[in-house]
Amino acid sequence: MKLSRGMAEAAARLGHDFADPSLLIEALTHPSVGGARDNQRLEFLGDRVLGLVVAQALLDEDPTAAEGDLAPRLNALVRRETCAEVAASVDLGAALRMGRSEMISGGRRKQAILSDAMEAVIAAVYLDAGLEAARALVLRLWGPRIAAVRAQGLDAKTALQEWAQARGMPPPDYLDLAREGPDHAPRFSVEARLADGRAATGAAASKRAAQQAAAAALLLAVEAPT
């Protein structure tokens, strides 16, 4: 199956020569096309491949970081907004196949569409050439962001608040659930809750760290693919 000119140019920008071009075609086909194999199944797989590669990169980048520090960094790097930014950086929207009404409504610039397409492309590379090829693609496109996320110090509470505000919601609430253990080694449990009722809990040796853990858990839950 031959790639269109736009898709061939996209493959060049991605830096991957597809042995099976049909995988890229599928990755860049939006469901609005109708009657064609769209990119939703690949998006499901690509989300997992991206998470694995970025998680390992974060461990390698900061060998001493605790899980409570790594979780918000991971979320910041794999969230929809970041995936869409990366897709835009290689002009993935220009190569998308979509229905006329979606195209007229600005689909090539829509965050959700770009994010899905980027994750689908990662899966296409993975299926075409294996994990190392997918890893090389992710590290090439996400590299500067991976290097910067530690320095940015975006904690989970800040990231969750920004996530809520971007969707017209008030800041999340934090509810103290329990304090256990002796005075010299306490354990705090905290619940983070959004205005729409979604919530998650976290536990740590300090109330602040427990809030961070709860926020990180809630971020992972709300950003998880449906």
| Cβ atoms of 38 and 30 closer than 8 Å | yes
Q: Which residues are catalytic, by number?
A: 47, 119
81-128 pLDDT, tens per residue?
889 989 999 999 999 999 999 989 998 989 899 999 999 999 999 999
CB atoms near residue 17 (< 10 Å): 10
Report how far residue 212's alpha carbon sits from residue 206's, in angstroms, rounded to the nearest whole number. Answer: 10
Q: What is the pLDDT of residue 224?
A: 60
CATH number of 5-152: 1.10.1520.10
pTM score of the predicted model: 0.70
Report how far residue 56's alpha carbon sits from residue 16's, in angstroms, rounded to the nearest whole number. Answer: 22
49-74 pLDDT, tens per residue?
999 999 999 999 888 888 877 887 88
Biggest alpha carbon–alpha carbon distance for the chain = 68
Strand partners, 175: 191
CATH assignment of 159-223, among 3.90.230.10, 3.40.50.620, 3.40.50.300, 3.30.160.20: 3.30.160.20
CB atoms near residue 76 (< 10 Å): 23
Q: Which residue has the tokens 């608040």?
A: 161
Query: Where along the chain do its domains lie?
Result: 5-152, 159-223
Q: What is the pLDDT of residue 225?
A: 53
Give alpha helix (H) positions in the chain: 5-14, 21-27, 40-61, 67-78, 80-89, 100-104, 111-129, 131-152, 156-166, 207-223
Q: Which residue has the tokens 């220009």?
A: 94
121-176 pLDDT, tens per residue?
999 999 999 999 999 999 999 988 887 776 665 567 888 888 898 899 999 999 99
Report how far residue 110's alpha carbon sits from residue 84's, in angstroms, rounded to the nearest whole number. Answer: 8
Report how far residue 64's alpha carbon sits from residue 67's, in angstroms, rounded to the nearest whole number. Answer: 10
3-state secondary structure of 87: helix
CB atoms near residue 177 (< 10 Å): 15
